[in-house]
Amino acid sequence: MSIAAIDCGTNSIRLLIADVDEAGILHEQMRVMRIVRLGEGVDRTGEFSAGALQRTFAACDEYAALIAAAGVDGVRFVATSATRDVRNRQQFVSGVRARLGVDPDVISGDEEAVLSFTGAVRGLLTGLVKLPALIVDIGGGSTEFVLGSVNPTHSVSVNIGCVRMAERHLHGDPATQEQIAAVEADLALALDLVRDAVPIAQAASIVGLAGSVTTVAAMAFDLGEYDPVLLHGSTITAEQVEAVTARLLAMTKAERAALPFMHPGRVDVIGAGAMVLRAIVRASGIDEVLVSETDILDGIVYTLTSNKG
Protein backbone atom coordinates (compact mmCIF):
# COMPACT_ATOMS: atom_id res chain seq x y z
CA MET A 1 0.00 0.00 0.00
CA SER A 2 1.50 3.30 -1.14
CA ILE A 3 0.77 6.52 0.75
CA ALA A 4 1.42 10.16 -0.11
CA ALA A 5 1.89 12.26 3.02
CA ILE A 6 2.10 16.06 2.78
CA ASP A 7 3.14 18.27 5.68
CA CYS A 8 2.46 21.97 5.19
CA GLY A 9 4.06 24.09 7.87
CA THR A 10 4.95 27.71 8.38
CA ASN A 11 8.18 27.59 6.38
CA SER A 12 8.07 24.52 4.13
CA ILE A 13 5.72 22.11 2.41
CA ARG A 14 7.02 18.56 2.14
CA LEU A 15 5.93 15.38 0.37
CA LEU A 16 6.72 11.77 1.25
CA ILE A 17 5.56 8.89 -0.95
CA ALA A 18 6.22 5.57 0.77
CA ASP A 19 4.81 2.22 1.78
CA VAL A 20 5.14 0.09 4.89
CA ASP A 21 5.75 -3.65 4.53
CA GLU A 22 4.30 -6.47 6.65
CA ALA A 23 7.23 -6.20 9.05
CA GLY A 24 6.37 -2.55 9.70
CA ILE A 25 9.37 -1.18 7.79
CA LEU A 26 8.84 2.01 5.79
CA HIS A 27 10.12 2.02 2.22
CA GLU A 28 10.59 5.53 0.89
CA GLN A 29 9.89 6.14 -2.80
CA MET A 30 10.26 9.91 -2.82
CA ARG A 31 10.82 12.76 -0.34
CA VAL A 32 10.58 16.35 -1.59
CA MET A 33 10.72 19.72 0.17
CA ARG A 34 9.85 23.19 -1.08
CA ILE A 35 10.28 26.24 1.16
CA VAL A 36 7.27 28.44 0.45
CA ARG A 37 7.11 30.48 3.69
CA LEU A 38 3.33 30.07 3.95
CA GLY A 39 3.42 31.68 7.39
CA GLU A 40 5.19 34.82 6.18
CA GLY A 41 3.83 37.74 8.24
CA VAL A 42 1.15 35.64 9.97
CA ASP A 43 2.44 36.49 13.45
CA ARG A 44 1.89 40.19 12.60
CA THR A 45 -1.18 40.17 10.31
CA GLY A 46 -3.12 37.06 11.26
CA GLU A 47 -3.60 36.18 7.58
CA PHE A 48 -1.87 34.36 4.74
CA SER A 49 -0.51 36.81 2.18
CA ALA A 50 -1.37 36.50 -1.50
CA GLY A 51 2.28 35.79 -2.33
CA ALA A 52 2.55 33.03 0.29
CA LEU A 53 -0.59 31.34 -1.02
CA GLN A 54 0.68 31.58 -4.60
CA ARG A 55 3.99 29.92 -3.68
CA THR A 56 2.24 27.19 -1.72
CA PHE A 57 -0.28 26.44 -4.46
CA ALA A 58 2.54 26.18 -7.00
CA ALA A 59 4.14 23.51 -4.83
CA CYS A 60 0.77 21.76 -4.53
CA ASP A 61 0.53 21.66 -8.35
CA GLU A 62 3.98 20.07 -8.48
CA TYR A 63 3.09 17.53 -5.80
CA ALA A 64 -0.22 16.66 -7.50
CA ALA A 65 1.70 15.66 -10.63
CA LEU A 66 4.16 13.54 -8.63
CA ILE A 67 1.34 11.81 -6.74
CA ALA A 68 -0.58 11.07 -9.94
CA ALA A 69 2.54 9.57 -11.54
CA ALA A 70 3.18 7.38 -8.48
CA GLY A 71 -0.36 5.96 -8.43
CA VAL A 72 -0.71 6.03 -4.65
CA ASP A 73 -3.47 4.34 -2.67
CA GLY A 74 -4.11 7.23 -0.30
CA VAL A 75 -3.23 10.86 0.37
CA ARG A 76 -3.21 12.81 3.61
CA PHE A 77 -2.41 16.52 3.66
CA VAL A 78 -1.59 17.83 7.13
CA ALA A 79 -1.43 21.55 7.90
CA THR A 80 0.13 22.75 11.12
CA SER A 81 1.01 25.92 13.03
CA ALA A 82 0.46 28.72 10.51
CA THR A 83 -2.89 27.33 9.34
CA ARG A 84 -4.18 27.07 12.90
CA ASP A 85 -3.60 30.79 13.40
CA VAL A 86 -5.07 32.53 10.32
CA ARG A 87 -8.38 34.22 9.55
CA ASN A 88 -8.36 33.36 5.82
CA ARG A 89 -7.95 29.62 6.31
CA GLN A 90 -10.81 28.81 3.90
CA GLN A 91 -8.96 30.36 0.96
CA PHE A 92 -6.07 28.00 1.67
CA VAL A 93 -8.37 24.98 2.10
CA SER A 94 -10.17 25.63 -1.19
CA GLY A 95 -6.91 26.05 -3.09
CA VAL A 96 -5.47 22.79 -1.77
CA ARG A 97 -8.67 20.87 -2.51
CA ALA A 98 -8.76 22.15 -6.07
CA ARG A 99 -5.20 20.95 -6.72
CA LEU A 100 -4.94 17.72 -4.75
CA GLY A 101 -8.51 16.54 -4.38
CA VAL A 102 -8.29 16.37 -0.58
CA ASP A 103 -8.93 18.87 2.17
CA PRO A 104 -5.96 19.84 4.31
CA ASP A 105 -6.31 18.33 7.75
CA VAL A 106 -5.58 21.21 10.12
CA ILE A 107 -4.33 19.23 13.10
CA SER A 108 -3.85 20.31 16.68
CA GLY A 109 -0.44 20.74 18.23
CA ASP A 110 -1.07 17.59 20.27
CA GLU A 111 -1.73 15.47 17.19
CA GLU A 112 1.27 17.00 15.46
CA ALA A 113 3.40 15.97 18.43
CA VAL A 114 2.12 12.37 18.36
CA LEU A 115 2.76 12.02 14.61
CA SER A 116 6.25 13.46 15.01
CA PHE A 117 6.98 11.06 17.88
CA THR A 118 5.84 8.07 15.83
CA GLY A 119 7.87 9.08 12.79
CA ALA A 120 11.03 9.85 14.74
CA VAL A 121 11.16 6.87 17.08
CA ARG A 122 10.20 4.26 14.47
CA GLY A 123 12.52 5.84 11.92
CA LEU A 124 15.66 5.52 14.05
CA LEU A 125 17.62 2.32 14.57
CA THR A 126 16.36 0.09 17.38
CA GLY A 127 18.31 0.76 20.55
CA LEU A 128 19.65 4.09 19.34
CA VAL A 129 17.10 6.12 21.28
CA LYS A 130 17.45 6.18 25.07
CA LEU A 131 13.97 5.95 26.56
CA PRO A 132 11.98 7.80 27.63
CA ALA A 133 12.83 10.23 24.86
CA LEU A 134 11.91 13.88 24.50
CA ILE A 135 11.05 14.44 20.84
CA VAL A 136 11.49 18.08 19.81
CA ASP A 137 10.10 19.21 16.44
CA ILE A 138 11.19 22.80 15.76
CA GLY A 139 8.95 24.21 13.06
CA GLY A 140 8.47 27.61 11.54
CA GLY A 141 5.55 28.73 13.69
CA SER A 142 5.65 26.38 16.65
CA THR A 143 7.72 23.75 18.39
CA GLU A 144 6.25 20.45 19.54
CA PHE A 145 7.51 18.60 22.61
CA VAL A 146 6.52 14.99 23.23
CA LEU A 147 7.83 12.61 25.88
CA GLY A 148 7.40 8.86 25.68
CA SER A 149 8.83 5.39 25.31
CA VAL A 150 6.79 2.99 23.17
CA ASN A 151 3.99 5.54 23.00
CA PRO A 152 3.86 9.25 23.88
CA THR A 153 2.79 10.05 27.42
CA HIS A 154 2.98 13.87 27.49
CA SER A 155 2.97 16.50 24.75
CA VAL A 156 2.60 20.22 24.20
CA SER A 157 2.91 22.69 21.32
CA VAL A 158 4.20 26.22 21.90
CA ASN A 159 4.51 29.16 19.50
CA ILE A 160 8.30 29.47 19.33
CA GLY A 161 9.05 28.44 15.75
CA CYS A 162 12.03 29.78 13.82
CA VAL A 163 10.02 31.96 11.41
CA ARG A 164 7.87 33.42 14.19
CA MET A 165 10.89 34.29 16.36
CA ALA A 166 12.95 35.67 13.47
CA GLU A 167 10.12 37.84 12.13
CA ARG A 168 9.23 39.08 15.60
CA HIS A 169 12.73 40.02 16.79
CA LEU A 170 15.81 39.27 14.64
CA HIS A 171 15.76 42.22 12.25
CA GLY A 172 19.45 43.14 12.33
CA ASP A 173 22.10 41.84 9.96
CA PRO A 174 23.53 40.40 12.08
CA ALA A 175 21.05 40.50 14.96
CA THR A 176 21.82 42.86 17.83
CA GLN A 177 22.25 41.72 21.43
CA GLU A 178 18.96 43.43 22.29
CA GLN A 179 17.17 41.44 19.59
CA ILE A 180 18.75 38.19 20.74
CA ALA A 181 17.73 38.97 24.32
CA ALA A 182 14.13 39.52 23.18
CA VAL A 183 14.06 36.05 21.61
CA GLU A 184 15.54 34.53 24.75
CA ALA A 185 12.82 36.18 26.84
CA ASP A 186 10.10 34.66 24.63
CA LEU A 187 11.78 31.27 24.78
CA ALA A 188 12.01 31.38 28.57
CA LEU A 189 8.27 32.07 28.88
CA ALA A 190 7.43 29.28 26.42
CA LEU A 191 9.64 26.77 28.21
CA ASP A 192 7.83 27.52 31.46
CA LEU A 193 4.65 26.38 29.66
CA VAL A 194 6.44 23.28 28.43
CA ARG A 195 7.57 22.32 31.94
CA ASP A 196 3.97 22.63 33.17
CA ALA A 197 2.78 20.12 30.54
CA VAL A 198 5.74 17.79 29.99
CA PRO A 199 8.05 16.41 32.72
CA ILE A 200 11.19 17.00 30.68
CA ALA A 201 13.41 16.07 33.66
CA GLN A 202 12.30 12.45 33.10
CA ALA A 203 13.79 12.34 29.60
CA ALA A 204 16.83 10.12 29.04
CA SER A 205 17.51 11.60 25.60
CA ILE A 206 16.51 14.37 23.21
CA VAL A 207 15.62 13.59 19.59
CA GLY A 208 15.64 16.69 17.40
CA LEU A 209 13.57 16.92 14.21
CA ALA A 210 13.26 19.32 11.29
CA GLY A 211 15.48 21.68 9.37
CA SER A 212 16.74 23.86 12.20
CA VAL A 213 18.16 20.81 14.00
CA THR A 214 19.62 19.14 10.91
CA THR A 215 21.18 22.41 9.73
CA VAL A 216 22.80 22.99 13.13
CA ALA A 217 24.16 19.45 12.91
CA ALA A 218 25.47 20.02 9.37
CA MET A 219 27.32 23.10 10.61
CA ALA A 220 28.68 21.27 13.65
CA PHE A 221 30.09 18.60 11.33
CA ASP A 222 31.36 21.20 8.82
CA LEU A 223 29.71 19.36 5.92
CA GLY A 224 30.64 20.25 2.36
CA GLU A 225 27.02 19.65 1.36
CA TYR A 226 23.76 18.71 3.04
CA ASP A 227 23.77 14.92 3.55
CA PRO A 228 20.59 13.47 5.13
CA VAL A 229 22.03 9.94 5.24
CA LEU A 230 25.02 11.10 7.29
CA LEU A 231 22.90 13.32 9.53
CA HIS A 232 20.19 10.77 10.35
CA GLY A 233 21.03 9.10 13.66
CA SER A 234 24.01 11.36 14.35
CA THR A 235 24.49 13.16 17.65
CA ILE A 236 25.48 16.72 18.42
CA THR A 237 26.72 17.75 21.84
CA ALA A 238 25.41 20.60 23.95
CA GLU A 239 28.76 22.34 23.39
CA GLN A 240 28.34 22.05 19.61
CA VAL A 241 24.83 23.51 19.83
CA GLU A 242 26.16 26.45 21.84
CA ALA A 243 29.06 27.07 19.44
CA VAL A 244 27.00 26.79 16.24
CA THR A 245 24.25 29.05 17.59
CA ALA A 246 26.77 31.74 18.54
CA ARG A 247 28.41 31.53 15.10
CA LEU A 248 25.11 31.75 13.24
CA LEU A 249 23.94 34.77 15.23
CA ALA A 250 27.22 36.58 14.56
CA MET A 251 27.02 35.99 10.80
CA THR A 252 25.40 38.24 8.20
CA LYS A 253 22.75 36.81 5.89
CA ALA A 254 25.31 36.74 3.08
CA GLU A 255 27.72 34.72 5.22
CA ARG A 256 25.01 32.21 6.17
CA ALA A 257 23.90 31.94 2.55
CA ALA A 258 27.46 31.02 1.53
CA LEU A 259 27.51 27.93 3.79
CA PRO A 260 27.50 24.89 1.46
CA PHE A 261 24.83 22.97 3.40
CA MET A 262 22.46 25.92 3.91
CA HIS A 263 19.10 25.80 2.16
CA PRO A 264 18.29 29.27 0.78
CA GLY A 265 14.93 29.25 2.51
CA ARG A 266 16.55 28.88 5.94
CA VAL A 267 19.11 31.69 5.68
CA ASP A 268 17.03 34.32 7.46
CA VAL A 269 15.51 32.05 10.13
CA ILE A 270 18.25 29.57 11.08
CA GLY A 271 19.62 31.82 13.82
CA ALA A 272 16.24 31.78 15.54
CA GLY A 273 15.89 28.03 15.02
CA ALA A 274 19.30 27.41 16.56
CA MET A 275 18.32 29.58 19.52
CA VAL A 276 15.22 27.45 20.09
CA LEU A 277 17.35 24.29 20.08
CA ARG A 278 19.92 25.88 22.40
CA ALA A 279 17.23 26.91 24.90
CA ILE A 280 15.77 23.39 24.90
CA VAL A 281 19.15 21.77 25.49
CA ARG A 282 19.92 24.18 28.32
CA ALA A 283 16.53 23.54 29.94
CA SER A 284 16.80 19.75 29.68
CA GLY A 285 20.26 19.32 31.20
CA ILE A 286 20.93 16.57 28.61
CA ASP A 287 24.34 16.88 27.01
CA GLU A 288 23.56 15.74 23.45
CA VAL A 289 20.84 15.70 20.79
CA LEU A 290 20.09 12.73 18.56
CA VAL A 291 19.32 13.99 15.04
CA SER A 292 16.44 12.47 13.07
CA GLU A 293 15.60 12.97 9.40
CA THR A 294 12.34 11.05 9.90
CA ASP A 295 9.47 13.00 11.35
CA ILE A 296 5.78 13.84 11.01
CA LEU A 297 5.67 12.70 7.35
CA ASP A 298 6.81 9.21 8.35
CA GLY A 299 4.33 9.27 11.23
CA ILE A 300 1.49 10.01 8.80
CA VAL A 301 2.48 7.05 6.61
CA TYR A 302 2.83 4.67 9.57
CA THR A 303 -0.56 5.76 10.95
CA LEU A 304 -2.44 5.46 7.66
CA THR A 305 -1.01 2.06 6.79
CA SER A 306 -1.67 0.65 10.27
CA ASN A 307 -5.25 1.96 10.15
CA LYS A 308 -5.80 0.33 6.77
CA GLY A 309 -4.11 -2.87 7.80
DSSP state letter for 265: G
The answer to whether domain 2-108 and domain 125-291 are alike in fold is yes
Q: What is the CA radius of gyration of the chain?
A: 18
* CATH number for the domain whose boundaries are 125-291: 3.30.420.150
Nearest Cα to Cα of residue 33 among 52, 51, 7: 7
First to last CA, the chain: 9
Q: What is the pLDDT of residues 228-273, one digit of tens each?
A: 999 999 999 999 999 999 999 999 999 999 999 999 989 999 999 9
Report domain extents, the chain. Answer: 2-108, 125-291
Whole-number Å distance between alpha carbons of 75 and 84: 21
Closest by CA to 77, choosing from 55, 103, 101, is: 103
DSSP state of 176: P
Nearest-angstrom CA–CA distance, 211 and 261: 11
- For β-strands 12-20 and 2-8, DSSP reports them as antiparallel
Question: Order of strands across the sheet with 133-138?
Answer: 152-158, 143-148, 133-138, 205-209, 288-291, 235-237
Q: Return the pLDDT at 81.
A: 65
Which DSSP helix (H) or strand (E) runs through 156? Answer: strand 152-158
Shortest CA distance to 76 belongs to which of 3, 175, 164? 3
pTM of the predicted model as reported, rounded to 2 decimal places: 0.87
For each of the chain's 309 residues, which pLDDT tens digit applies?
899 999 998 889 999 999 888 877 889 999 999 999 998 888 889 899 999 999 999 999 999 999 999 999 999 999 976 677 788 989 999 999 999 999 999 888 778 888 888 888 887 765 678 899 999 999 888 899 999 987 889 999 899 999 999 999 999 999 999 999 999 999 999 999 999 999 999 999 999 998 999 999 999 999 999 999 999 999 999 999 999 999 999 999 999 999 999 999 899 999 999 999 999 999 999 999 999 998 899 999 988 887 654
Residues 69-98 have pLDDT tens digits of 999 999 999 997 667 778 898 999 999 999
Q: Is 211 helix (H, G, I), strand (E, B) or coil?
A: helix
Asked if CATH classification 3.40.50.300 holds for the domain at 2-108, the reply, yes or no, is no
What is the distance, to the nearest Å, from the Cα of residue 57 to the centroid of all Cα atoms in its chain? 20
